[in-house]
Amino acid sequence: MLKSVFFYGIFVLAFVSCSPCGQYVGDGRCVPIGSGYAAQFAPIRPDQRGTYSFQFTGLAPRSFHMGFRVFDQDGSPIDEAIPETARPNPLVEIGLLNERYDLVISESRPLQDWEWNHNMVQIRGEGHDETTSTRGDTRFVRVGVKQDGGWGTTFEPRLRGQYTLIIKMLEPDPKARGVMLQPVIETYVGSL
């Protein structure tokens, strides 16, 4: 009996420590979603000016995408299928600092200019294709990569890195009354 409890404990410990959420500590919560994981923070109203700060540590060292899940007042997703003119459009600034105060992410633009994927909005960093051989082979080169792999709203946290996410609604969208933006940091199985 003691032996099976011991092995079960080792299994659970190994599973938790391998999960991208295994060591998560901080504001919000880290949960499994579909084929991945998400750190989810308190929703923000895009129709009100404000500054919001969230701290966290313990995400696995892999690629994470930061952005917002967009919901209506009933909790139903608002996605890219709705016309652009009906989407909420506050001017949003998003920044991420590590414990050394290095700037990891720094973006500021109207929400309609963010990349919409279902009800997730995020910003893809800049880049270009570069020829790698005389045969014309190319590879994509990221431009403007910051500390901890910050690129657009994507980053790769360090195992023991401590982070502060700062979001500012610089110009609220008054017609977005009833809309909620939930800050999220997501990764998917296979996005190592």
DSSP states of 60-85 as a string? Answer: -SS-EEEEEEEE-TTS-B--TTS-GG
Range of the domain at 184: 21-188
Residue 31 lies in a domain: yes
Residue 174 lies in a domain: yes
> What's residue 93's pLDDT?
97
Residue 2 lies in a domain: no
Residue 6 lies in a domain: no
Answer with the residue of higher pLDDT: 140 or 47.
47
> What's residue 41's pLDDT?
97
> What's residue 30's pLDDT?
93
> What's residue 18's pLDDT?
57
> What's residue 20's pLDDT?
67
Residue 98 lies in a domain: yes
66/14 Cα distance (integer angstroms): 26
Q: For residue range 99-119, list pLDDT tens digits in order.
A: 999 999 999 999 999 999 888
Burial label, 55 (beta-carbon count in 10 A; 0-12, 13-18, 19+)? middle
Mean pLDDT of the chain: 87
Residue 12 lies in a domain: no
Other C-beta atoms closer than 10 Å to the C-beta of 16 total 11
> What's residue 34's pLDDT?
84
Q: Look at the chain and report how many structural domains it folds into.
A: 1
Q: How confident is the model at residue 17 (pLDDT cuts 50, 70, 90)?
A: very low
Between the alpha carbon of residue 97 and those of residues 107, 118, 164, the distances in Å are 12, 27, 5
> What's residue 14's pLDDT?
38
173 pLDDT higher than 80: yes
Residue 155 lies in a domain: yes
Which residues, other chains included, contact 2 with Cβ-Cβ below 8 Å and sequence gap of 6+?
none
Q: How confident is the model at residue 80 (pLDDT cuts 50, 70, 90)?
A: confident
Residue 53 lies in a domain: yes
